[in-house]
Amino acid sequence: MTTHSTTTNRRIATLTGFKPTGELHLGNYAGAIRPLARLAADEHRDVYVFVADLHALNGHPDPAALADRTQRLAAALLACGLDRPNVHVYRQSRVPAIARLAALLSNVTSKGLLNRAHAYKASVAANAEARRDPDHGINMGLYGYPILMAADILGLDADEVPVGADQAQHLEIAVDLAQQFARTYRGQALREPRALVTESVATLPGLDGRKMSKSYGNTITLMADPNVIKDTIRRIVTDSTPPEQPKDPDACTLIAFLRAFGDDSTIQEVETRYRNGTIGYGETKALLAEVIEQHVTPLRHRYERLRAEPAALHERLIEGEQHAARRADQVLTRAMTAIGL
């Protein structure tokens, strides 16, 4: 499983992306952005973070809305600890080599591989359940999504990609295509990335106890007004156990949030009071709102400053895009040379 040659002084390149489909929520932050910011604290690592605006086109978003969501997402990412010299935030669409590499990769991608992609299979299954044509509502952007994702990864010469269970297949396909490219053209133009699994990453439940997801409508918006966050926390579903009755902290959504954002002493105190039956859900929700607001306030302030200075935000993106483009151009040149173009 060898890849393009490396040198001992080569900086590790970590890559991930976020689709601009709406506001970031606390689950995005705790599960992906905060762990990435911790990785970025290592100055010997280069972190590439792209706003996946090309991937967002599958849903035919309103152009003005897409542009606004892209700016908001970029500002939020920078505000959450990713505004560092070794972090390169860029818009996917502004790195032309990515789309060009995707075109090259499509020629070594079997239809069977794309047929097994989770998003495509889920759409086909939904059509079958609704007794529609299997390809109803499926465009080539959705069907070819894994190829563009592979180009995102391979095009930046990434060493590692943070993955959760729902992204693992994209990385596996990228590795498959790098290997198929090497077999076809007898070279090592494309580096095979590895999965980066971060220990102790919080997976937050939503308001209803299911995984926090925009599709479930159970999220808490990261950069929302403090009063909005407080009101949303009040809506977290709990059972009818009275305050004076012992409760299992491991089975409570409120404690899951507290463990993600509270300090050790606060968590320990509340868990003890849960087991002793000396605290109710109302008091816990009020405390949780304070804990989350204390954590989010500095992030919100940085976000608002970035949003208030669009020219500065634009310049920060341009810097990231120029850096990413130079790196991607080198990979594209290797791939084109291997092919004979």
Q: Kindly report, residue by residue over 97-141, the tens digit of the pLDDT.
A: 999 999 999 999 999 999 999 899 999 999 999 999 999 999 999
Where along the chain do the CATH 3.40.50.620 domains lie? 12-204+309-339
Was domain 12-204+309-339 assigned CATH 3.90.110.10? no
pLDDT, tens digit, 9 for 90 and up, residues 308-328: 999 999 999 999 999 999 999
Rounded to the nearest 10 degrees, the angle between the axes of helix 226-234 and helix 281-308 is 150
pLDDT-based confidence at residue 215 (cuts at 50, 70, 90)? confident
Where along the chain do the CATH 1.10.240.10 domains lie? 214-301
- The mean pLDDT value of the chain amounts to 93
> Which pLDDT does position 7 carry in this prediction?
45
Is residue 92 within 8 Å of 51, Cβ to Cβ?
yes
Distance, CA of 16 to CA of 92 (rounded, Å): 11
Q: Say yes or no to pLDDT of 193 above 60.
A: yes
> Which pLDDT does position 6 carry in this prediction?
44
Distance, CA of 166 to CA of 174 (rounded, Å): 15
Q: Say yes or no to pLDDT of 167 above 80.
A: no
Distance, CA of 185 to CA of 107 (rounded, Å): 12
Is residue 173 within 8 Å of 118, Cβ to Cβ?
no
Q: Say yes or no to pLDDT of 187 above 90.
A: no
Q: Say yes or no to pLDDT of 33 above 70.
A: yes
Superfamily, domain 214-301: Tyrosyl-Transfer RNA Synthetase (1.10.240.10)
Distance, CA of 267 to CA of 269 (rounded, Å): 6
Q: Which has the closest alpha carbon to 293: 221, 235, 237, 211?
A: 221
Is residue 37 within 8 Å of 82, Cβ to Cβ?
yes
Q: Say yes or no to pLDDT of 1 above 50.
A: no
